[in-house]
Structure 1
Amino acid sequence: MSVDLADNRLSLPQAPMKKGDETHNVIRPGIVLACTIAGAGFSLKQLPGMALLSPLILAVLVGIVFSNTVGVMANAKAGIAFSQKTLLRAAIVALGFQLTATQIVSIGVQGIVVTVIALVTTFGFTILLGRWMGVDQKLTELIAAGTSICGASAIVATNAVTNARSEQVAYAIACITLFGTVAMLCYPLLMGSFGLDQHAFGLWAGASIHEVAQVVGASFQGGPQAGEIGTVVKLARIAMLAPMVIALGAIAMHRKGTAEAKRPPLPWFVFAFVGVVGLNSLVTIPAEATVLLKSVTTCLLSVGLAAMGLGTNVAEIRRHGWRPLVLALSASLFIAGLSLALIKIEY
């Protein structure tokens, strides 16, 4: 303790700031901003004509508009980076609570065969087509994952090993959202023309439409049985998220060569996702807790994707041009046609 002789005030020593408190102070502004943007996305969904878009996509769009008009404060960047990485990966782990081994088995051997063949073939087709078209390799991998597996969630998970820029991630999400929404609107109109019963239609929707919400929106238009089957098949595709990211991580390590061979190419959350699915398969979680976990997952995804939007530069998106858009369209048409053909053969 010391005395200030100028005004006779006592000067008490300040307690040193703990490292955890310092970290919280650094990331808090960015997290608050990302949460605010995510909240705006949820609010926009309540407006007329916006119900077809998920709050995840709206959060990305609001974030992009905000960052490219108002701008992002310098003190918010650390929290935005935290939301974009840590919170998004935590959301992917929580996504495992929506999936059990029993659900996968319930679609039958034929359903699993159709789903796996469509997924793997579409991924490979998109990679090859992207290379032929001259689309950036990282952006191609993101579009391939989003189309073949589970939309924005797959893009986020895949980016953990591809390390693409925010602009590329935003571009991939925009493409997947656009063509997934078109599929959601068109599939029910084609059910009768293709002679599909509820079981076949649900399998088609679940095996080929991108986002979970889009699958639900399309498949239940074909009837309750179609809706249930479509949802389960879509969850089975989500189960392929882990092996796909593992494979991409191994490829990434091979590209880097032996100099970096000791570095683990796989992110922790992939193994955590598998563990959560296993836990959810062995332990019965109360329905109330499941609903809560689903809401938490959606919120975490929204905040993380809002941060992704906040880190997006529209000028960089324009720089990629029209080719990735054509690639995403081609991939969407491919998985729709291939899965339909496989279903016709099987059933």
Structure 2
Amino acid sequence: MTTLKNQLVFWLALVACLTPYVSSPTALVIGFLIATLGLVPHQFNLAKVTKKLLAYSIVGLGFGIHFKDALTVTSNGIGLIIATIVGTLIIGWWVAKAFGLDKKTSYLICSGTAICGGSAIAAVAPAIKANDEQIGLSLATVFVLNSLALFIFPVIGHSLELSQNTFGTWAAIAIHDTSSVVGAASAYGEEALTTATTLKLARALWIIPVAFFSAFLFRSDSKKITIPYFILFYCLAIAISDLLPQFEVVYLSLFDLAKRTLVVCLFLIGCGISMEKLKSAGPKPLIFGVTLWIGISCSSLAWLMLT
């Protein structure tokens, strides 16, 4: 009877994550609480299901990218975009070594900081064969910083009297997840919101080369590269939505569904995290994430103010 109740709680929580009332960070916390209370069914293969669902979710997100718009915005700020992405990955790699942080966990945090938070982590994780603990720690770090950015960035922007365009660009570069970018930019102004949203979606295109590069970087000792095929389908989804715009209603539905399944993925990842794993990881992932975040925030803001 107890086992049946445990399963009921687990499945009810999973279904709740499909509703708009549960956000990504909340889903991760709910999963963690259920795991802590021992309510995760033992026969449920979390790792296998999560891996497949992550791939499907990323493909679905491709239907929300307007290639022409993204390409236009990317071409306007291509130098800054490449510099921040490459710079974050390279600097993060060396800082992680100094911290003595797990290689895959630190790389996932770098990817999330460089591109688009949880979506980038979800895309890169299968390419480097990261486990649930590594994914969970990196996502938790990114979500904490996202929450802070939502309130801190508009205050800094107003105090420095940044223009709408400058703030929108800065938010798109320095804030991890698209949801937090939209939240911070909308609080600043309509023009900032338009700039930030478009530029952030443009940066999402960089998931493609980064995922392939990651697969090469983390290839096994046999030198065999695991091709992240789901990224090819992600590209196909972008192409289809761009070439056949008459089905936009369908694409938006697939995009919304992908966002909800991604929330479910975070719930399942949370179910694989325990207090013992968090204690063994220590504060290093969060300190590393904060260090990297401050670095990209300050450097990109300085560049935008000087140009």
TM-score of the aligned structures, taking structure 1 as reference length: 0.81
Q: What is the distance in 2 between the residues matched to 1:127 and 1:116?
A: 16
Q: What is the distance in 2 between the residues matched to 1:31 and 1:283?
A: 43
Using the TM superposition, name which of 125-134 and 107-116 deviates more: 107-116
Q: What is the distance in 1 between the residues matched to 2:69 and 2:251?
A: 15
Which of 254, 260, 268 is matched with 2:229 structurally? 268
**2:170–2:301 Cα contact (<8 Å) kept:** yes
Q: Alpha-carbon deviations, 1:194-231, whole Å to 9, x = none?
A: 23211111111111100110000001112111101101
Asked if 1:172 is matched to 2:172, the reply is no
Asked if 1:314 is matched to 2:275, the reply is yes
Which has the bigger relative contact order, CA under 8 A and spacing at least 6?
2
**2:7–2:41 Cα contact (<8 Å) kept:** no
Q: Percent of pairs identical after alignment? A: 25
The aligned residue for residue 92 of structure 1 is 58
**Counterparts of residues 222-261 of structure 1 (less than 5 Å):** 222-253=188-219, 256-257=220-221, 260-261=222-223
Which of 12, 15, 20 is matched with 1:36 structurally? 12
Identify unmatched segments of 5+ residues in structure 1: 1-29, 47-53
**1:104–1:112 Cα contact (<8 Å) kept:** no
The offset of 1:291, in angstroms, is: 3.1
TM-score of the aligned structures, taking structure 2 as reference length: 0.91
Which of 212, 224, 229 is matched with 2:178 structurally? 212
> 1:88 is paired with a residue of what secondary structure?
helix
Asked if 1:140 is matched to 2:140, the reply is no
Aligned residues: 302
Asked if 1:104 is matched to 2:65, the reply is no
**1:34–1:83 Cα contact (<8 Å) kept:** no
Q: What is the distance in 2 between the residues matched to 1:306 and 1:112?
A: 35
**2:166–2:304 Cα contact (<8 Å) kept:** yes
Q: What is the distance in 2 between the residues matched to 1:34 and 1:339?
A: 43
Q: 1:341 to 1:317 in 2, by over 3 A?
A: same
**1:38–1:302 Cα contact (<8 Å) kept:** no
**1:114–1:343 Cα contact (<8 Å) kept:** no
The offset of 1:125, in angstroms, is: 1.2
Q: What is the distance in 1 between the residues matched to 2:7 and 2:263?
A: 12
Letter in 2 for 1:283: L
**2:133–2:272 Cα contact (<8 Å) kept:** yes
**Counterparts of residues 147-186 of structure 1 (less than 5 Å):** 147-186=113-152
Identify unmatched segments of 5+ residues in structure 2: 1-5
Larger Rg: 1
Letter in 1 for 2:258: T
Q: What is the distance in 2 between the residues matched to 1:325 and 1:184?
A: 17
Q: What is the distance in 1 between the residues matched to 2:56 and 2:34?
A: 25
Asked if 1:83 is matched to 2:55, the reply is no
The aligned residue for residue 51 of structure 1 is none
Q: 1:143 to 1:109 in 2, by over 3 A?
A: same
**1:216–1:227 Cα contact (<8 Å) kept:** yes
The offset of 1:339, in angstroms, is: 1.7
**Counterparts of residues 289-300 of structure 1 (less than 5 Å):** 289-300=250-261
Letter in 2 for 1:276: A
Q: What is the distance in 2 between the residues matched to 1:164 and 1:92?
A: 16
> 1:107 is paired with a residue of what secondary structure?
helix
Q: What is the distance in 1 between the residues matched to 2:56 and 2:7?
A: 15
Asked if 1:60 is matched to 2:28, the reply is yes
Q: Alpha-carbon deviations, 1:72-102, whole Å to 9, x = none?
A: 2222x23x33430111110001111111222
**1:64–1:311 Cα contact (<8 Å) kept:** yes
The offset of 1:275, in angstroms, is: 1.7
Letter in 2 for 1:125: I
Q: 1:90 to 1:331 in 2, by over 3 A?
A: same
